[in-house]
Structure 1
Amino acid sequence: MMSSPARNRRADAHRSRAAILDAATRVLNAEPDASMETIASAAGVTRPTVYAHFPSREQLLLAVVERITHEAVAAMDAADLDTGPAAVALMRMLDAGAQVTGRYPALVQLLSACPVTPEADHDRHTPVADRIRRVIQRGRETGEFDARLPVDWLVTATIRLGHAAGEEQDTGRLPAPAARDALRISLLRMLGATTQGDSSSRYR
């Protein structure tokens, strides 16, 4: 059975979009100020083709954010969130996400500087927040975490502390091991963890 012209066009459009996102992720991480024309050239498409998929640079950046978020979430899901003590699983999950974003330092810095509405910021963090919530709730059910503070507050605070640790590391104010250790200690104290999960090697 032969493919229809419409189906072929859709497949071509999908390949073009994927190539543009691949190129944008790679090019902007190396050169944050790169033009749309540079991205088009790296993707092997024309500039009008880029704009056909992404009418503005802002929309292209949002799509890149979504791609990196999906990559980070996939790494978190592979970190066995339901295995072992909740405190260890939480740190293992955050470390998996940090390893992904750590591959795109310049790009992450560029994206963090882009203005975003509270609604868009909430939507961006929802997949990560859902997984953090799952681990925190498991820890409360097993008695590993204190149940006095609201779960949503703890989820938000965990995300903010994760960002803070990343910023301290990126600016050089803390070396990577110290930033991870500061994050671990801060989170476990905030969560009222009954065990401290002695060293970072336990959640790597």
Structure 2
Amino acid sequence: MTHSALGTARRADARHNVARILRAAVTCLGRDPAASMNDIAREAGVGRVTVYAHYPSREALVEAAMVHVLAEGDEVLATVDLTGDPRDGLRALIEAGWMLLAQSTSVLEAALAALPPGRVQDLHAGPEQRIHDLVRRGQALGVFRTDLPARWLASVLHHLLHGAVADVAAGRLDPADAPRYLSAVTLAAYGATGA
């Protein structure tokens, strides 16, 4: 094998290991937000040295797992049709967003515990921008209230989603009811007209 071919094979192996480690991190953190680097290495079928070669700390790996989950979620949210009535778009985003959030709650919990204050919110900038843009359009069309800033209204939905996750975890809310409740409360908070 030539030096060039060997280098290409090593890079391919490294990419494969990174993908395995990320999948293992999402799986392990999904089961236990306090999962260790050892747990993740074992799940990935690689040694700790390999994990640390790609992620120098648990915080770096937790952040990478959160970025991975958000990127997958963004692909799903990007398919939601937001071109029609903003109220319908909001309901569709809540439905899709709830399913994604319910699947990644433990990864989010790990990120909140491991990352510096504000970092998780920074990572959510893309999904929050999608909601912000929808709210602005709803305000321009006169179906959402205009006495409060769109950024604040988008933040309200973010907090409601995370509150619903906490209520589901505490047994106070049936997960099947969450999207309907979230839509009703959010539309009321947005002062949706003609809903």
Residue 146 to residue 123, structure 1, CA distance change in 2 (3 Å):
same
TM-score (norm 2): 0.87
1:194 deviates by: 0.8
Partner of 1:193 in structure 2? Answer: 192
Using a 3 Å threshold, how does the CA distance of structure 1 residues 77 and 150 change in structure 2: closer, same or farther? same
Give structure 2 stretches of 5+ with no counterpart: none
- Are 1:77 and 2:78 matched, yes or no? yes
Q: Number of residue pairs matched?
A: 193
Deviation of 1:22 (Å): 0.7
RMSD: 2.1
On the 8 A contact 2:94/2:182 being kept in 1, the answer is no
Tell me: CA distance 1:18–1:136, structure 2 relative to 1, closer, same or farther (3 Å): same
Amino acid at match of 2:173: L
Could you tell me how far apart the structure 1 residues matched to 2:114 and 2:36 are? 16
CA shift at 1:4, angstroms? 4.4
One-letter identity of the residue aligned with 1:123:
D
CA distance in 2, matches of 1:90, 1:10: 42
Q: Which amino acid is 2:92 matched to?
A: R
TM-score (structure 1 length as normaliser): 0.84
8 Å contact 1:81–1:89 — kept in the other structure? yes
Unaligned ranges ≥5, structure 1:
197-204
Deviation string, structure 1 residues 73-131 (Cα, Å, up to 9, x no partner): 1111112122x32112112112212212322444443334445322x133211011111
Identical columns (%): 34
- After TM superposition, the structure 1 = structure 2 runs for residues 36-185 of structure 1, keeping only pairs within 5 Å, are 36-82=37-83, 84-118=84-118, 120-185=119-184
Q: Is the 8 A contact 1:21 1:64 kept in 2?
A: yes
- Answer yes or no: is the 8 Å Cα contact 1:140–1:147 preserved in 2: yes
> Deviation of residue 18 (structure 1)?
0.8
Change (3 A) 1:26 1:122: closer
Deviates more, 1:179-188 or 1:158-167: 179-188
Question: For residue 192 of structure 2, what is the amino acid of its counterpart?
Answer: A
Cα distance between partner residues in 2 of 1:108 and 1:122: 11
